[in-house]
Structure 1
């Protein structure tokens, strides 16, 4: 390939890990401004770094589309390798012991609305007491949480995500199941609905942005029942206000519904569709002292909050492969 930039090509041996980290961060944020803020440098420093990498790889790396820096295919391939290199180097450089009271390390958790509402707040409170210097970043996992782990864009994934292939490890935080949320004036609010009555409800379907289908919907379809909602919404946020004073019924994970419900009535769903909420990480970080400490802290801080509103009963169902709530 003929180089399009007449300036001398940088020496690859002069590219340090800080340069690669800047590239990875820009790939994740899609913004020169945000990347500079996170790195606490001037935006011109980020631009200079990217310009040097563009000359090195003879590729634009990013193109501007709709006010966002969109990576080229070559850029994404470079970032995938660079992120692993940076992560492996950090692992080699990490001390054999970890002192939470004095650390200023950065830890990135990928999760979605459920976890940000129920699991992250008690974790933050615990961190402020035990590791006040630790820099915590929460990123949206969507349906790409495992890819974020593999690309070292996140240190930990939290949610109902299970992948069976080698390279991923997991730890269960709680078991969930679905429940019905409705206005207290609803004719069925007096007792747990039977399946036949449930099918006749005016349903609010939470689509989670179209990234996946909720397990209870899949189970209804497997039973041969058509599920035609009256309203579709992308997120559980605001659902209690939406159904207040109406005959609408929303089927929501029980712990989340218990947190959101306010004056709404919460009843067991006749299609509970149980699933596990997990912490997921890679073998690369499995034995790192900071990562072990963080996983233990998350489990300890979340347990009282989750068990306080735990769904009654238990279910032996341990089916895997469920991609989301």
Structure 2
């Protein structure tokens, strides 16, 4: 198709398609475009005619995009992102920014990493707001692509292409025990670790799989509890002789708060990389470039300090991000 033929097309329809895919709702898309619901329905009709595809089917109160709609949305990400950059002001002033940033995160990162960046963020940009949403490992790409999230902070378990990422630092693993635990006042050996019951927290970003990989030739541990929040394990830590395996810096923070003992793993375990991840459409956004720079600087410095304070091996081979 020649350039002059593109000029004769209503390219606003493509913007409407992108928003419909993001919202999965005619009424919500209408609100974002400042249109009536009937006008938005007519836009959808014109899109169906233009692209020769139904684009959406209805499931309850939601629209389910067809493969053609999803394919078009993916193809539009980069050009629409470039247009946003071209049409946005070149100068970014954090003090006048009133954007709400949506960040996908694990409970671990929300407790031990992000809070330490927030004071500087609010100092530089007092009018910004944040919405933190639970990260779903299997759907990370979809959450960043269609969920309008700006950033994810985690250790990705599945492939993240074509997302962009930057490593924040290394995270090790330690064990939490009650001070009444039989091992609280003695060194824990591998046999101890294998014989006592365990609790594993889902905030650990795939730590369970990494632990099992390191122990693949050893007998299986007795896992009596697996939960999303650490509080579930802490509720029974004084009543059963459990070992709770969590990221090391979380272990140290929690041990001070709940008067628990911290023990190193009694076998070799390579610390893993923790990263921030974003969609290519966010790459050149001045506001998000500013946010990523602060998260990188503040959280990276924090993680590096903890590596030193806790004696983690900063020179160990990294666990590569999945491609």
- TM-score with structure 1 length normalisation? 0.75
Indicate which of 34, 40, 45 corresponds to 1:49.
40
Cα offsets for 1:81-127 (capped at 9, x unmatched): 34444323212223333211112345443322222222333334333
- SS of the equivalent of 2:70 reads helix
Indicate which of 83, 88, 104 corresponds to 1:110.
104
- Shift of the 207–163 alpha-carbon distance from structure 1 to 2, 3 Å rule, reads closer
**Would you say 1:267 and 2:263 are equivalent positions?**
yes
Give, in whole Å, the separation in 2 of the partners of 1:48 and 1:252.
Answer: 52
**How many angstroms does 1:183 deviate by?**
1.4
- SS of the equivalent of 1:175 reads strand
**Would you say 1:298 and 2:295 are equivalent positions?**
yes
- Shift of the 14–170 alpha-carbon distance from structure 1 to 2, 3 Å rule, reads closer
Give, in whole Å, the separation in 1 of the partners of 2:94 and 2:85.
Answer: 17
Match for residue 194 of structure 2?
199
- Asked whether the 8 Å contact 2:103–2:153 carries over to 1, the reply is yes
State which drifts further: 96-105 or 181-190: 96-105
Give, in whole Å, the separation in 2 of the partners of 1:160 and 1:113.
Answer: 12
Match for residue 134 of structure 1?
128
Give, in whole Å, the separation in 1 of the partners of 2:218 and 2:12.
Answer: 59
- SS of the equivalent of 1:292 reads helix
- SS of the equivalent of 2:94 reads coil
For structure 2, list consecutive stretches of 5 or more residues without a partner in the other structure: 1-7
State which drifts further: 16-25 or 269-278: 16-25
**Would you say 1:81 and 2:79 are equivalent positions?**
no
- Shift of the 121–317 alpha-carbon distance from structure 1 to 2, 3 Å rule, reads same
- SS of the equivalent of 1:189 reads coil
CA RMSD of superposed structures (Å)? 3.9
- Shift of the 288–64 alpha-carbon distance from structure 1 to 2, 3 Å rule, reads closer
- Asked whether the 8 Å contact 2:100–2:128 carries over to 1, the reply is yes
Match for residue 3 of structure 2?
none
**How many angstroms does 1:132 deviate by?**
2.9
Give, in whole Å, the separation in 2 of the partners of 1:40 and 1:15.
Answer: 10
- TM-score with structure 2 length normalisation? 0.75
Cα offsets for 1:161-216 (capped at 9, x unmatched): 38899855543323111111121111011134111111111011335699885311
Match for residue 161 of structure 1?
156
- Asked whether the 8 Å contact 2:177–2:184 carries over to 1, the reply is yes
Give, in whole Å, the separation in 2 of the partners of 1:82 and 1:263.
Answer: 53
Q: Which has the higher helix share?
A: 2
Indicate which of 221, 243, 249 corresponds to 2:243.
249
Match for residue 6 of structure 1?
none
- Shift of the 15–131 alpha-carbon distance from structure 1 to 2, 3 Å rule, reads same
Indicate which of 171, 180, 183 corresponds to 1:176.
171
- Regions of 4+ moved over 6 Å: 162-166, 209-212
Give, in whole Å, the separation in 2 of the partners of 1:121 and 1:37.
Answer: 36
